[in-house]
Amino acid sequence: MTHSFHPSILREYDIRGIIGETLSVADARAIGAAFGTRVRANGGSTVCVGWDGRLSSPDLAAGLVEGLIATGCAVRKVGRGPTPMLYYAAKARSADGGIMVTGSHNPPNHNGFKMVLAGKPFFGPDIKDLGTIAEGGAFAQGSGSVVDDDIADEYAARLAADFDGQRGLKVVWDCGNGAAGEILGRLIKSLPGEHHVLFGDIDGTFPNHHPDPTEPHNLVDLQQAVADRGADMGIAFDGDGDRIGVIDGLGRILWGDQILVILAEDLLKTRPGATIIADVKASKAFFDEVARLGGNPVMGRTGHSLIKTQMAEIGAPLAGEMSGHIFFADRYYGYDDALYAAVRLLGIVGRWAGTTLAQRRDALPQMVNTPEMRFDCAEERKFQVVAEVRARLAASGARVNAIDGVRVDTPDGWWLLRASNTQAVLVARCEAGDQAGLDRLRAELEGQLTQSGVALPA
């Protein structure tokens, strides 16, 4: 039987849609059958399946499993939890593939799927291929099986195993009612110190605040709790637990590149000269600091699947994105796991003698920058706008890194313009040494956008 997906749901890094509008259980069943077909064609049969806490996730997971079984796959249902728990299950069970039902940090009525095949990210052309298989109806046929494999305790124990702090800390954790809550409850029982959990109950309506730690307004409750309890730090997770947010004991946000510098500094003590990857949105301060610490900083394209692939290709033990995806291949498996990153960060701070996270943050180079600016641009236009800007910059002789959009270096600092791979938006950021320089960079960016008929938000 053939099946056609809504054209908007097959994205670059995952499958994502709106329940009842662009995504249904029938779609999930077809995704399972198409992915199972790929697994069987690859010589495999075992697929791990997990799901987050969204209200629609159990039904989508059931449809997914039906489709997988129909292709002859042996399904291991690892249960409700964060996306990295599914990644762990695929590794620990030596599975041929894995699918996570998750809407990540998107609104409650959204949901989707993240996948791995043969231990590697499944994205880009692979996701498009699922649509081709479904439209042709060329599904593998078989009689598969399904078993329950509750891996939560095992996963929590694996996370705790790499804590190497010399003292416990007072930490406030904000799960945002997302999928990390139950695992965190298990994890903190194995960690020293004093731990306080906000919104640990998994609730797909997200009644307290949206689970996206890159948005400062979602961290207000955490900041208040850290202040009230005099905590050393606060840690927040997104809806599926693969992105981390961190605040210091003074309630200040550490952005993804700042977290990565602290992690890199510690790693480079045992792996001098190691390559550390940050995405194109990261501060110049990150690249300068990693070089100063004896590491090899490398700029990569934005996108968790792209970063994981690049890490494997060049053997980088650590990578991160401004969005809070942190990837450890040092003592771990090379995928983005916010819970694991938190354990490593607590270990580092717990080994510092007489230094707080707030003091270490103050010692980082201080830059003046805009937040990540995201603004609407039609899907059929967004990449063309970036191409137009790139062409004008090339003609002017500007210093441009075109690895992912355009990142322009000037005496004042740098500015970035790129097209989102997952939404009909353009993304921009500017960074300078002072406010006057930042104003000039923003004016240059705005001028380029104006020439392409796009307005930069105030």
Residue 85 token pair: 């728990």
| Catalytic residue (one of 24, 56, 57, 104) | 104
Instruction: Select from 212, 230, 244, 216 the least CA-distant residue to 107.
Output: 212
| Spatial CA neighbour of 71 closest among 104, 91, 97 | 97
Distance, CA of 446 to CA of 443 (rounded, Å): 5
Residues contacting 109, CB < 8 A, separation 6+: 18, 19, 20, 56
Give the residue among 228, 230, 178 at the shortest CA–CA distance from 199.
Answer: 178
- Angle of helix 125-136 versus helix 25-41 axis, rounded to 10: 110
In 330-457, beta strands by DSSP E: 368-369, 373-376, 399-401, 406-410, 413-419, 425-432
Rounded to an integer, what distance in angstroms lies between the CA atom of residue 109 and that of residue 337? 24
CA distances (Å), 440 to each of 74, 407, 411, 428, in order?
58, 15, 10, 15
Strands 120-121 and 193-198: unpaired
Burial class (CB in 10 A: 0-12, 13-18, 19+), 135: middle
- The SS3 of residue 241 is coil
Neighbour tally for 230: CB within 10 Å: 8
| Pair of tokens at residue 424 | 């009909």
Answer yes or no: 104 catalytic: yes
Catalytic residue annotation = 104
